[in-house]
């Protein structure tokens, strides 16, 4: 528990070194790293989308090293079954008594930091196995609940360009991701630094900065960050404006098919508070909300066929919403 001002100061002092340790391996991608850390501190999960070779998996591995959290990687394939993720029961025999009993053998989901690599390569049946774990923090097998470790942070990756043999995530599962993070190509100087740093003999050593208890305390601290009633009202209006049936925003009326639910407002508020804490502030601002609105809303705002025909995306919708909704 956080009991004193010294505890708060100690926790906040660990955040800059955490970024520095990750930056030893990950060159650039500062906005992506910010959003991943925001998701971790806000206690949610994140979906990373980017073409192959942009260090998505490396980012998650480096985060695991810098946070000293138990880490497991699950490679999603078309033949992956739910039990391969959650675990299964095995029959054990006591050699002394001859008594036999079933024992639950935990799967790779039972870790504090889980990488679901190429999550869209597995069928919906297996994707759905993650739903309860992501939302409830436990899994159910044979009628018994099995609690997951705390903290529990799932980072999933997917490739946006290769559609053959992939299964798009259902909307219900997308909504369970706190943030939908898009990773772009590095700048010329960043790419030059990557080429220079990864083709020699030097290998940076990443030191653990945060322990599991530190992460749990930071997640509690995030909820204590203040948000003014005016900004709370702005978030409420912004989310409600995504719904075509009631929205007054012309873009949404013309191109919206489905809007975001209350979970989007909760996500945006928690993420804004987490971003404020990352920057050493105890009050979230309008800039925090604007910065995180695309990652919070892009997977919760669905556009119609007219938008698709005009090559409009959910990011375009978020930009129009931020322009149109009054602060």
Pick the CATH number of 226-326 from 2.60.40.10, 1.10.8.80, 3.40.50.1950, 1.10.132.20: 1.10.8.80
- Average pLDDT across each block of 10 residues of the chain; the chain has 327 residues. List them in order: 72 85 80 90 89 79 86 88 84 73 81 88 83 83 82 87 70 86 84 78 80 87 92 94 89 89 93 92 92 92 89 91 87
For residue 196, what pLDDT is reported? 78
| Domain boundaries, given as residue ranges, for the chain | 1-199+209-224, 226-326
User: Which class in CATH covers the domain with range 1-199+209-224?
Assistant: alpha beta
Three-class secondary structure assignment of the chain = CCCCHHHHHHHHHCHHHHHHHHHCCCCCCHHHHHHHHHHHHHCCCEEEECCCCCCHHHHHHHHHHHHCCCEEEEECCCCCCHHHHHEEEEEEECCCCCCEEEEEEECCCCCCEEEEECHHHCCHHHHCHHHHHHHHCEEEECCEEEECCCCCEEEEEECCCCCCCCCCCCHHHHCCCCEEEECCCCCHHHHHHHHHHHCCCCCCCCCCCCCHHHHHHHHHHHCCCECCHHHHHHHHHHHHCCCCCCCCCHHHHHHEEECCCHHHHHHHHHHHHHHHHHCCCCECCHHHHHHHHHHHHCCCCEECHHHHHCCCCHHHHHHHHHHHCCC
pTM of the model: 0.88
For residue 28, what pLDDT is reported? 76
For residue 164, what pLDDT is reported? 61
């Amino acid at each position: 528990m956080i009991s004193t001002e010294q505890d708060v100061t100690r926790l906040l002092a660990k955040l800059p070194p955490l970024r520095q340790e990750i930056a030893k391996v990950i060159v650039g991608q500062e906005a992506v790293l910010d959003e991943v850390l925001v998701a971790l501190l806000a206690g949610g999960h994140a979906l990373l989308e980017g073409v192959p070779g942009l260090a998505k998996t490396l980012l998650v591995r480096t985060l695991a090293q810098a946070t000293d959290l138990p880490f497991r990687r699950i490679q999603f394939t078309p033949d992956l079954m739910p039990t391969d993720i959650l675990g299964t029961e095995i029959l054990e025999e006591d050699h002394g008594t001859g008594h036999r009993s079933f024992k639950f053998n935990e799967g790779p989901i039972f870790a504090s930091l889980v990488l679901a690599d190429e999550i869209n390569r597995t069928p919906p049946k297996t994707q759905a196995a993650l739903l309860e774990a992501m939302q409830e923090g436990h899994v159910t097998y044979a009628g018994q609940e099995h609690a997951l470790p705390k903290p529990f942070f799932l980072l999933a990756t997917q490739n946006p360009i290769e559609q053959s043999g992939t299964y798009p995530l259902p909307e219900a599962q997308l909504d369970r991701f706190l943030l939908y993070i898009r990773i772009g190509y590095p700048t010329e100087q960043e790419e030059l630094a990557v080429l220079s740093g990864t083709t020699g003999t030097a290998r940076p050593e990443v030191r653990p900065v945060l322990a599991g208890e530190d992460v749990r305390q930071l997640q509690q601290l995030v909820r204590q960050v203040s948000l003014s009633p005016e900004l709370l009202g702005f978030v409420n209006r912004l989310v409600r404006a995504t719904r075509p049936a009631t929205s007054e925003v012309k873009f949404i009326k013309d191109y919206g098919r489905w809007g975001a639910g209350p979970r989007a407002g909760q996500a945006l508020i928690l993420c804004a508070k987490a971003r404020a804490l990352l920057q050493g502030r105890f009050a979230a601002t309008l800039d925090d909300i604007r910065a995180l609105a695309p990652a919070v809303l892009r997977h919760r705002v669905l556009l119609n066929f007219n938008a698709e025909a005009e090559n409009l995306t959910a990011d375009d919708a978020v930009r129009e919403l931020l322009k149109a909704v009054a602060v």
